[in-house]
Amino acid sequence: MKLIVGLGNPGARYAGNRHNIGFMALDELARVHRPPSWRTRFQGEATGLDFAGDKLLLLKPQTFMNESGRAVAEAARFFKIATRDVIVFHDELDLAPGKLRVKLGGGNAGHNGLRSITAHIGNDYWRVRMGIGHPGDKALVHAYVLNDFGKAERPWVEDLCRACADHLALLVNGQDSAFLSKVHLELEARGHLDIRRPGEAG
C-alpha cells in the first residue's frame, strides 16, 4: 500500500490559496480515478483506491499545514505503510509555475508541512514539488502563499493537477522520471511552462 498525501490548510477560507495546491492535486486525482467518497479519518479526509496493481490511501490532513505530520503518521501507522511508500504533493516556491520535481528525502526548504511530516515519520518519503513561483522578496512569501491563485494562473494549475492525475500510475510504480517527462510535455504543449515568475520583466 502507498499513502498519497496532499498538503494544504482546511476550510473554505484557504481553498484557493497557492499553499493548497497539494489539496488541489488530490482532489483532481479523486475526480479522475473515482475512489469512494472522502471520509473523516486520521485527522484528515481520506479515501482508498485499488490502482495500478497497488492499493492507495489518499489523505488530505485537516490539522493545518504546520501539523500535517500528525495525520500522516497516524495513517501510516494504522496501515503499516513504510516511509518510502509515502508520496507528498506540495507547493514549491523555488520552482517556476507549473514545473515539477520528484525527490526522495532531502531538505524541507522552510516548508512547514514537510517539516512536520519529517518530525513524525522521518525524512525518507517522496516529495512531488509543485512549482508556484516566488514573489521575488522573502518578506512577501507569507502573503503570497496564503493568497489565492490569480485568474490568469488557474489554467496552468488545473492542467498541472490533471496531468499528475493522468500519469499517476508512473509515479506509483516508481517511474518518477517518466512521470515528470509526461507531465512537463503536457504543460509545454498547452503553453504553460514559459510562464514568468511574479515580478519578472516581460
Residue 175 corresponds to which cell in the numbers above? 517511474
Say whether 33 is catalytic: no
How many other CB atoms are found less than 10 A from the CB of residue 113? 27
Q: What local confidence, expressed as pLDDT, does residue 20 receive?
A: 98
By the 8 A CB rule, do 68 and 116 touch? Answer: yes
Residue 56 corresponds to which cell in the numbers above? 492507495
Q: What are phi and psi of 39, to 5 degrees?
A: -125, 155
Q: What local confidence, expressed as pLDDT, does residue 196 receive?
A: 46
Q: State the catalytic residue, choosing from 19, 33, 111, 192.
A: 19
List per-residue pLDDT tens for the chain, 202 residues long: 999 999 999 999 999 999 999 999 999 999 999 999 999 999 999 999 998 788 999 999 999 999 999 999 999 999 999 999 999 999 999 999 999 999 999 888 789 999 999 999 999 999 999 999 999 999 999 999 999 999 999 999 999 999 999 999 999 999 999 999 999 999 999 888 765 444 443 3
Angle between helix axes 176-189 and 154-166 (nearest 10 degrees) is 140
Q: What local confidence, expressed as pLDDT, does residue 194 receive?
A: 62
By the 8 A CB rule, do 10 and 43 touch? Answer: no
Q: What local confidence, expressed as pLDDT, does residue 200 receive?
A: 42
**Residue 17 per-residue DSSP state:** B
117 contact partners, CB below 8 Å, separation of at least 6: 5, 68, 69, 72, 73, 86, 88, 125
